[in-house]
Amino acid sequence: MNHEQIERDIEHLERVISRISVADGIPLSYWRNRIASVSLGAQLPSQVKRVQKLSDALHAIEVRYRR
C-alpha cells in the first residue's frame, strides 16, 4: 500500500472506531483484522502511533462488550 492509502485507511478507522458498537452488526474481529492490515503498511512513526491508538481503543471496546 502506498502512503496516501495508508493515511486514508487510518483516517477511516479513526472515524469508525470512535463510533462502533457490538450492535452495529459488524463483528469486532472484522475491525481487528482491518487494523492489523493497516498496521502492516504503516511505516512512518506517526502512522505506527495512530494505529497503536486504534488497536488500544478497539481493545477497550472488546473488553467492555465481553462483560
Q: Read off the pLDDT of residues 32-65 as tens digits, 9 standing for 90 and up.
A: 999 999 999 999 999 999 999 999 999 999 898 8
- Amino acid sitting at position 1: M
Quote the pLDDT of residue 67.
63
Query: Which string of b and e fits 18-52 if b means at least 16 CB within 10 Å?
Result: eebeeeeeeebeebeebbeebbeebeeeebeebbe
Residue with cell 502512522: 47
Quote the pLDDT of residue 44.
94
pLDDT band at 28 (very low <50, low <70, confident <90, very high): very high
pTM, 2 dp: 0.90
List all residues 6 or more positions away from 18 whose beta carbon is below 8 Å from its beta carbon. Answer: 57
